[in-house]
Each structure stands twice: as structure tokens, then as C-alpha cells.
A and B are shown apart, each in its own frame.
Chain A
Amino acid sequence: MGKKKIKKKEVIITGFGGQGIVLAGRILGQAAALGDGKESTLIQSYGPESRGGACNTQVIIADTFINYPYVKHADILVCMSQGGFDKYIDQLTDDGILLTDQDLVQLPKKSLKNFFTIPATRIAEELGRKMMANIIMIGFLTAVTQVISKKAAKSAVTESVPKGTEKMNIKAFSKGFDHGMAVLKGKEKKASGKTGAV
């Protein structure tokens, strides 16, 4: 996961209108293209129903020019709504990584191999701004998947959020990132047979 270099990563981020799903995708794509010097594409899907309705964005990151900008099989699926999870879980590859907002997505009983969850919306509320859940999720994704570098992600966040909110958003990003690192550490411990709280 993230340790061996893969030439192409296909990502779907889903949620509902108003959560900043497209902005999250934009930060991811921009970090890869401008910060990490890779190629990336961003497709946003919306319709007349998008306000409060389902919303998704597709990002592909690769070392070379991406001819086909739509995601067929997702290597990474980020779900910030139950509807998004239900709709896109079948597009996740067998080795794919699933990230969810812990309080917004209920998982089916069967266990998923590469699964990580974070109460992004709850943490955002604790920080005083529910709307920063998307930035927390981007921090979490950066730590867990390493699909973009932390440096590139942070500058993409700074460049993409409204002026005057940069500090607050970087704080949100760091919360998500640190949570991701802690979860990863916990998983490693578990894998090596140790137990204990994450």
C-alpha cells in the first residue's frame, strides 16, 4: 500500500452535494499535477439533482499522460455518504483501499481487506467547522494511501480554500493526516501480533 510505486491510481470520492466532494478531488488532482509533478485528471459528475443529492468526483493520477479520464476500477474509494458507498463499492478492485467517514457509512458484515475509517465530520465539528470534513478526509487519505506527498497536499489545500481560512484548513488537514498515521501504526502492530489501543 503506497510503498511500491504504482504507475496509475484511480480514485473515486463520493458523498452528497455540499460536503466539498469536488473540492477534495480538486485538491488531490492539483497536488499530484502541480506539487508532485505527475499527470492527473479530474472528472466531476453532477446533474440537476446535485444539491443535497449524490455527488462524485473521479481522479486519476499517473506518471504519463492519461488518455481515458474516467475511472473503470477504483484503486481508492472514499465514501462520505452511505449512498456513495452503496453505489460505488463494486467498482473497488480486490486490492483497492476503502476510506469512509465512520459516522456516515455503515459497512456490510463481511470484512474488507484494506479498510480505513475516520470520523471526519465529527472531528470537523469539534474544530468548529463541519464543512472542513473534506479537508480532514484529504489529510487522512494522504497519510494512508501516500498517493500524493504531504507537502504537495498541504500546498494544494492552501491554494484551494477561501482566503483567510488557510490556517484553519491546514489544521484540519493535519488532524486527518495524524489520525491516518496512528491508524497505520495500529494496523502494523496488529499485523506483527501485538495488540493494544490504536
Chain B
Amino acid sequence: MTAAIRTGEYFITGDVACAEGALAAGCQFFGGYPITPATEIAEHIAERIPDVGGTYIQMEDEIAAIASVLGASWAGVKSMTATSGPGFSLMMENIGLGICTETPCVIVNVQRGGPSTGLPTQGAQSDMMQARWGSHGDYEIIVLAPSSPQEIFYQTITAFNMSEKYRVPVIIMTDEIVGHMSEKVIIPEAKKIKTVSRVIPKGRKDHFKLFKPGPNGVAPMPAAGQGYNVHVTGLTHDEKGYPVMSVEAQAEMMTRLTGKIKKNLDDIIITESYRLDDADIALISYGVSSRTSMTAVDEARRMGIKAGLLRLITIWPFPDDIIRKLAKKVKGFVTVEINLGQIHREVERCAGDKARAVLVGHPGGTIIPPDSVIEKLKEAF
């Protein structure tokens, strides 16, 4: 047991498990603004982060919160924030700044019913497309979806690791149900937790190029004050980081920003299969809805329907190839999600004319009961 990693068995909420995961990953800065149902993440970090010599700041709003997170990352520390729908909307512009300036950081969205103020104390999964496309411009981003307090602990570590490795903001899309439910969480020994930190540049400081990619397409990143000349801007910039307003510079920057993700899909995309090997019908689900889906698969099997589940852990980049391959094997897909068909559209796109795709959606406020999945299965196939 260390100050950062509280090895042991706990009965804690998803929000608290997320905070513990962040500390285990090496998070040293949290810039927050309270919002239900994400407040408990900030609360727990505020209490715990002094143990590891880190800093918690409550900013004046969510725009400032994400700005402080980007700044802390450029100061050289692993940083994060947590919010919910309305705060997530406010953070969008600066998430784009984080993508453009290749700033590692982690943003947690504990989703609640929307739009607008919506259902503050009740869960939904209706910001999934916003997580992909909410900031303006073309870009690639990494988004993970945990289904339990235990999983959010590990995924928060993974989120930090991926953000450090690929120099990109990573978003954890959880929901009020996972955030507020309590379950057994096992925090392993420190030596069993693998953490990744950004590559630091070596060599001459005077001829340094801030955005010159290394072998995996990602540039090493110095911290402010280490003596490297850094120019960090949201304008289209060259490898030195200087603004260049040209078609060529735009193309080069965009290739780098998207390429580092697209070339590493095998490393980034994580999925899990449940009873899928001989399945005729594949349920596609993620987060809390994937728990419902597992029960539905078991019930369907008892009724003689060969159902299976593909559980998406990485949501973005989307596992196109995995679903395309699956489309050749199964009769149909059922996407189970607490929204009106956001990931369903992606599944439809990948299924093409190879397999039928139907939706079990929900407008939000509660978990989807397994019965509605079974009903849809019987009705559609």
C-alpha cells in the first residue's frame, strides 16, 4: 500500500473508485467544478490528493476547470477533471484546444438525463456522440465506457495511460448509475498497476521541435520551465508549434492529429465478448447497459435464442472492423443504450446490408430492464 494506491477491498461508489483510479494512475492535479452526479469524484480527490502531494482547485466554472487541467498538463503533471452534461457542453471548446495542442489529460463525464439541465440525479448515456464530435473541427479522440465501480477504477488508469501515450485528451463516459452505485472494488498491490508517462524529449534544447513525431507518431513533450522553447497554440501550427496559415500546414497537422490514433487502433480499441462464439444475434452495448445485456443474453439462451454480447469498452475510435466482421456471422444486431440511438447509428453503418440492426433505446432516467431487450429480440428476429 502506498499513498497513491490504497491496496485492499472496498465497498465504494463508482465515483470514489474513479478518484482512487486517478490517484493510482499518478494524477497530480484536479481542476473541478461541482455538478451532480460527478461531484463525489471531485470531493474524494480533494480529500485524497494532498496525500500524494498533488493539487485540487475548484475553479469558477467548467470552462476554467478544463483550462486549468490543460495548463497543469503543460506544467508536466497528469491532470483531470470530472463533470456531467451541462459542464461537459461548456468544456467542449477547450477539449478541442487540448486535441490541437496534443495535451494529455482525462475528462470524466458522469452522464445524466438531458438535454439542458435535464435529470440531474438520474442516469443516461445520451452524450455519446457529443464525446465524439462535440468540439468543432475534425479530430480523433479516445473515449472509454466503464460498467461498474471496479471497472471505472481500472479504466481511469487506462485513460491516463492512453492520454500520456498518445498525447490526447481521453474521455471516460460513465453514468449516474455506475457513478452512484456501490459495489466491491479490489485495489491491487502497487506493483501490479502499470502506469505510463509521456515521453520527455532528449537532446539539444535550442533546436527543439515541439510537435515532431516520434516512431509511434507521437511527439515527446517537455514541461514548461524545462528550458525548451515551446509555443503552444490552438491555431494551425507547424512542428515547431508556430502558427502557419496554409493548406499544407493544415493537412500536415491533421494527418498527425488523426494518424496517431488511426495507426494504433489495435492498441486503443478494447472490447469484450460474452457468449458470442455461436451467436445468431449480437447485442452491442457498453457501460451500465452492458450489465442489462448480459442478463438478457442469459435469458435469451434459456429460451433457445442464440444471443451473445459484444461489450464496447473503447467507444471511440469505434470498432468498425470488429462489427463488420461480426456482421458476416450473425443475423442481426441489437444495440442496447440509454439514449435514442446514438451508437445504434454506428452499428447500422458497420452492419451495412450484411445484418439487420435494431435498437433498444431509452430516453433516460433509469437503467434498461432486461425484459425490454428480450421483447425486442422476440419481435425483431
A residues bordering B, Cβ < 8 Å? Answer: 26, 29-30, 33-34, 39-44, 46-48, 67-70, 72
Contact = CB atoms under 8 A, between A and B. Distances in A.
Interface string B1-20: 00000000111000000000
Contact of A42 (B120, B183, B295, B367): B183
B55 interface: no
A114 B370 CA distance: 29
B263 interface: no
A72 B10 CA distance: 26
Contact of A41 (B183, B294, B366): B183
A34 B370 CA distance: 28
The 10 A-B residue pairs with the shortest CB-CB distance, nearest first, are A30-B11, A42-B182, A33-B184, A67-B291, A67-B295, A67-B294, A33-B11, A68-B295, A47-B121, A41-B183
B291 A42 contact: no
B182 to A, nearest CB: 4
Given A39-B184, A42-B182, A46-B121, A69 B177 contact: yes
Contacts of B237: none
A43 B291 contact: no
Interface of B: 9-11, 120-121, 177, 180-184, 291-292, 294-295, 366-367, 369-370
Contacts of A40: 11, 183-184
Nearest to A68: B295
Given A34-B9, A41-B181, 4 more contacts: A33-B184, A39-B183, A41-B183, A67-B295
Given A29-B11, A46-B121, A67-B294, A34 B184 contact: yes
Contacts of A70: 366-367, 369
B121 A68 contact: no
Nearest to A31: B11
A41 B291 CA distance: 12
